[in-house]
Amino acid sequence: MNDLSSVPESAKDPERPARQRKPDWIRVRAPVSQGYNETRKLMRELNLNTVCEEAACPNIGECWSKKHATVMILGDVCTRACAFCNVKTGMPRAVDPMEPENTAVAAAKMGLEHIVITSVDRDDLPDGGAGQFVKVIEALRRNTPDTTIEILTPDFRGKMRAAVEAICEAGPDVYNHNLETVPRLYPTIRPGARYYASLRLLEEVKSHNPMIFTKSGIMLGLGEQRLEVHQVMDDMRSADVDFITMGQYLQPTPKHAKVEEFVTPKAFAAYGSIARAKGFLQVASSPLTRSSYHAGDDFAQMRAAREEKLRKKDRLAV
């Protein structure tokens, strides 16, 4: 048997493209802590999927050691095939009726003050999966009433209004829907989605309940231009989005979209300053920023920022 362990991937199979080399500033902690193992065991026991694992998130070592995991409901098979995403594509299985209660048990066992729930796209379901989001929110409110709830939903293509209405009625604290990239790159990066439909979803949340915080994010390094990123920020602000996240796109496997650029930490900081100047209540912008990275701390800061803003308004009105 040949020992190929020291041979670069691309040299083992000339048909197979090489993994792209990451710069020094993308350093992540290896997932080896006791907290990591306990989180993994709990998720398996409760038959829950996480986006942390399915999306091969680089922060899993850090987040799971602190017992922060983002539960991915509605199964582990997605009906879309976005060029940036590592989640499996295909025909999903039936929805697990125990998922809402199991999610609440996980939140209780991990002692979560703030939980993030996301899902795969379920274009096969009549409600796009909105009903399961509602059940999860209700189960969390019943079992862990002090846990604040952040949801990160798909675009519910073709059924957005009813889905958003039902979810807003259930009352999450934060509603996140990611724009993912600039509109010019949608046909290649997010071909099953429409940029303006996603923006409308974010507007719709605010029109149902202005007290729900809205959040959205984009990945950088996919070939977007600086002014296009600024335009996305303006579009989000026009939709009254409270919180923007910006992080480096990383290619999960050589079959996925290539990284066109590793954006420097300095450039991320500059984007962050511009976003703050544009009026977002909360901004997270760094190479390792992900939608749910440090979500609890960011939520607390965002809530404090809104309270301060309202206090200022009251003072001016007197």
Total residues contacting ligand SF4 by CB under 6 A comes to: 12
- Nearer of residues 102 and 292 to ligand SF4, judged by Cβ: 292
User: In whole angstroms, how close is the CB of 123 to ligand SF4 at the nearest point?
Assistant: 23
Q: Are 196 and 234 spatial neighbours (Cβ–Cβ below 8 Å)? A: no
63 interacts with ligand SF4 by CB under 6 A:
yes
CA distances 247 to 62, 93, 109, 150, 283, Å, are 16, 31, 30, 19, 11
Q: Answer for the pair 153, 119: CB distance below 8 angstroms, yes or no.
A: yes
Site track for ligand SF4 across 16-55, x = CB under 6 A = -----------------------------------xx---
In single-letter form, the type of residue at position 124 comes to D
List the one residue from 59, 79, 176, 181 that touches ligand SF4 (CB under 6 A). Answer: 59
Which string of x and - marks every residue 245-284 that binds ligand SF4 (by CB under 6 A)?
Answer: ----------------------------------------
Which lies closer to ligand SF4 via its Cβ, residue 179 or residue 199? 179
Rule CB under 6 A: say whether 112 interacts with ligand SF4: no
Q: Round to whole Å and give the CA distance between 66 and 88.
A: 27
Q: Which two tokens stand for residue 83?
A: 């060029």
CA atoms within 13 A on the CB side of 35: 13
CB of 158 to ligand SF4, least distance (A): 27
Taking the C-alpha atoms of 272, 210, 311 and 246 in order, what is their torsion angle to the nearest 10 degrees?
-10
Q: Are 302 and 242 in contact (CB under 8 A)?
A: yes
Determine which residue in the list 43, 48, 57, 179 makes contact with ligand SF4, applying CB under 6 A: 57
Question: Is residue 292 involved in binding ligand SF4 (CB under 6 A)?
Answer: yes
**Smallest gap from residue 293 Cβ to ligand SF4 (A):** 4
| Interface region with ligand SF4, contact rule CB under 6 A, candidates 102-110, 161-169, 212-220, 289-297 | 289-297
Answer yes or no: are the C-beta atoms of 285 and 272 closer than 8 Å.
Answer: yes
User: Taking CB under 6 A as the rule, does residue 243 contact ligand SF4?
Assistant: no
Which of 77, 290, 296, 298 forms a contact with ligand SF4 (CB under 6 A)? Answer: 290
Should residue 60 be labelled a site residue for ligand SF4 when binding is judged by CB under 6 A?
A: yes
Whole-number minimum distance, CB 290 to ligand SF4, in Å?
Answer: 4
Footprint on this chain of ligand SF4 (rule: CB under 6 A):
51-52, 57, 59-60, 63, 68-70, 290, 292-293
